A and B are shown apart, each in its own frame.
Chain A
Amino acid sequence: MKVLVPVKRVIDYNVKARVKADGSGVDLANVKMSMNPFDEIAVEEAIRLKEKGAVEEIVAVSIGVKQAQETLRTALAMGADRAILVVAADDVHNDIEPLAVAKILAKIVEEEAPKMVILGKQAIDNDMNATGQMLAALLGWGQATFASEVVVEGEAAKVTREVDGGLQTIEVKLPAIVTTDLRLNEPRYASLPNIMKAKKKPLDEKTAADYGVDVSPRLEVVKTTEPEARQAGEMVPDVDTLIAKLKEKGVV
């Protein structure tokens, strides 16, 4: 079967986001960008399914600015077979909303006919946690979100999900949407030879207009502000002092 893996280019998870002084957003100029960590887990899972013989082809897709082709090259270097870049924005500060992304992905699914789409459960920039569920809705497919284990069994996948109460295991008919949680796997690093090889793998370039999808936002950003900073506290020398302080505050 074929698997589609959407990947997003986001601020690197080690970088602390800074709000622009004019309140218009988070400053992404000259900031280190990387593949969204949950999407790395999605790529890794697709590769493992391929290594197990359950998957023949892995197609990586990215929707955003042109520079997202670097993210796609990373996916190709990890082990994806080919890539599709959909240019939908010309400024990195212009985040394409999950609904629009899901609409473009739905069109690509029509063309590519994968049996499974594996996405990260959330992008660490907008923290929306929505694209996979929205794509499942648009396609009328079943969804298995927040996966910590995926087993493909014939025409279904058995997926263990991380939920508030612990773990839930469900079976979802294929074709289906899977979104990844942190414990699904540990993504591999691309080796240097594979990075070289990835440069020769096919990467198609498209635009949102090619798919006839309007990507204008439904949510107008009114402003972006810094959260209230916490007051710096005090260091205590020992446990007794700590207990005294906590009693003073009335919390123990």
Chain B
Amino acid sequence: MAVLLLGEVNNGELSVDATAKAVTAAKSLGDVTVLCAGASAAAAGEAAAKIDGVAKVLVAEDASLSHRLAEPTAALIVSLAGDYSHIVAPATTDAKNVMPRVAALLDVMVISDVSGVVDADTFERPIYAGNAIQTVKSKDSKKVITFRTSTFDAAGEGGSAAVETVGVSDAPSLSSWIEDKVAESDRPELTSAKIVVSGGRGVGSEEDFKVIEALADKLGAAVGASRAAVDSGFAPNDWQVGQTGKVVAPELYIAAGISGAIQHLAGMKDSKIIVAINKDKEAPIFQVADFGLVADLFDAVPELTSKL
């Protein structure tokens, strides 16, 4: 059995953390070949070859593959699919865009957000905002899977896989890229950070979110947010943690001014240590917190920042 793993490539660069976590998840399924696709992907391919456990790397470079548009990326994967029993990727927004398309083109059911591999056909995945874990056995000849990265440790370095170039077939151009709005930040990425500090509606404004950011910067942490904070414009969409945002499992998760709705818990309840700061002692977030502090966040968070 052989696995084709879609590496997470952005602007020619490999997201090593997400890719290496998917490698760990996929290793038991067979020899892992990582596909790096993009307008330029050679450097990403070199980086993928160093991930421990990678048997081979395929590099596909073509202008149509820039910006990870779903249609050409899916067409490329399908053109390579014949050799593989499993086609997998880390469950990033890019892969969630592409992989169901791949699955339908192969007439198989996609298995999204897999959190556990039982055997080559059988997988565990959270459903209902993580309130249940379902074990499913696929009857399809090929499995198309995205892995929930927060539940797998990243594979280390030390590999030296062979890198091959693959040709790109013509696909009809159905969509085109216009622009990206990506905030530059020196902070660690939300999904790989050791510490995450998140703010909710209780923070009250974009201006006041600086209180959360100051604590995060003091701790070298990433910043997260609840849906309510994002909807209200206090925080950008890519900070949203939850069922329908990012799923994180850091060593330490600090939630300030977040009530603890099930949709939020779905994205952070696997964190090692959870701290909740909320002025309402009945807030449901306290039921999952290791340490709860009933306080006004505008007192407690700055105090934490200054004393840490």
Shortest Cβ distance from A41 into chain B, in angstroms? 11
Interchain CB contact under 8 A, A227 and B133: yes
Check if B178 is an interface residue, CB within 8 A of chain A: yes
Interchain CB contact under 8 A, A251 and B137: no
Which of B107, B122, B308 contacts A243, CB < 8 Å? B308
Closest to B266 in A: A127
Q: Which residues of B have CB within 8 Å of A128?
A: 100, 110, 112
Segment at the A interface, from B40-48, B49-57, B292-300: B292-300
Q: Tell me whether chain A's interface is mostly helix, strand or loop, or mixed.
A: mixed
Given contacts A127-B129, A136-B101, A169-B179, contact A235 B112 (CB under 8 A): no
Interchain CB contact under 8 A, B110 and A246: no
Q: Which residues of B have CB within 8 Å of A192?
A: none
Given contacts A224-B132, A224-B134, A227-B131, contact A158 B178 (CB under 8 A): yes
Shortest Cβ distance from A97 into chain B, in angstroms? 5
Interchain CB contact under 8 A, B129 and A148: no
Q: Which residues of B have CB within 8 Å of A29?
A: none
| Alpha-carbon distance A222/B237, docked complex (angstroms) | 36
| Alpha-carbon distance A3/B308, docked complex (angstroms) | 55
Q: Give the interface residue-count category, chain B.
A: 35 or more
Closest to A243 in B: B307
Interchain CB contact under 8 A, B292 and A235: yes
Contact with A along B172-197 (1 / 0, CB 8 A): 10111111111100000001000100
Interchain CB contact under 8 A, B180 and A167: yes
| Alpha-carbon distance A172/B292, docked complex (angstroms) | 47
Given contacts A242-B275, A246-B275, contact A226 B132 (CB under 8 A): yes
State how many residues of chain A have any CB contact under 8 Å with chain B: 84
Closest to B131 in A: A17
Check if B202 is an interface residue, CB within 8 A of chain A: no
Which of A26, A124, A170, A249 contacts B177, CB < 8 Å? A170
Given contacts A166-B236, A225-B132, contact A218 B109 (CB under 8 A): yes
Interchain CB contact under 8 A, B108 and A218: yes
In B255-300, which residues have CB < 8 Å from any A CB?
A: 262-263, 269, 272-275, 281, 286-295, 300
Check if A11 is an interface residue, CB within 8 A of chain B: yes
| Alpha-carbon distance A148/B230, docked complex (angstroms) | 12
Interchain CB contact under 8 A, B138 and A142: no
Q: Which residues of B have CB within 8 Å of A181?
A: 237, 244
Check if B74 is an interface residue, CB within 8 A of chain A: yes
Given contacts A143-B175, A168-B177, A170-B176, contact A236 B132 (CB under 8 A): no
Q: Which residues of A have CB within 8 Å of B201?
A: none
Interchain CB contact under 8 A, B128 and A125: yes
Q: Which residues of B have CB within 8 Å of A224?
A: 127, 132-135
| Alpha-carbon distance A160/B132, docked complex (angstroms) | 32
Check if B162 is an interface residue, CB within 8 A of chain A: no
Closest to A37 in B: B244
Q: Which residues of B have CB within 8 Å of A25?
A: 132
Check if B243 is an interface residue, CB within 8 A of chain A: yes
Which of A218, A234, A239, A249 contacts B139, CB < 8 Å? A218
Which of A173, A221, A227 contacts B135, CB < 8 Å? A221
Check if A138 is an interface residue, CB within 8 A of chain B: yes
Shortest Cβ distance from B106 into chain A, in angstroms? 9
Q: Which residues of A have CB within 8 Å of B294?
A: 235
Check if A80 is an interface residue, CB within 8 A of chain B: no
In B98-149, which residues have CB < 8 Å from any A CB?
A: 98-105, 107-113, 122, 125-140
Check if B85 is an interface residue, CB within 8 A of chain A: no
Interchain CB contact under 8 A, A233 and B290: yes
Check if B93 is an interface residue, CB within 8 A of chain A: yes
Closest to A18 in B: B131
Check if A57 is an interface residue, CB within 8 A of chain B: no
Closest to A130 in B: B100
Q: Which residues of A have CB within 8 Å of B281?
A: 235
Interface centre among B126, B131, B246 (most CB of A within 10 A): B131
A-B contact pairs, 30 of them (CB 8 A): A17-B127, A25-B132, A26-B127, A97-B109, A122-B244, A129-B113, A133-B96, A134-B100, A137-B102, A137-B104, A146-B93, A148-B237, A162-B93, A162-B237, A163-B94, A166-B180, A168-B177, A170-B175, A173-B175, A182-B240, A218-B108, A218-B109, A218-B138, A222-B122, A223-B135, A224-B134, A226-B132, A242-B293, A246-B252, A251-B195
B: residues with CB less than 8 A from A are: 10, 67, 69-71, 74, 92-94, 96-105, 107-113, 122, 125-140, 172, 174-183, 191, 195, 219, 227, 230-231, 236-238, 240, 243-244, 246, 251-252, 262-263, 269, 272-275, 281, 286-295, 300, 303-304, 307-308
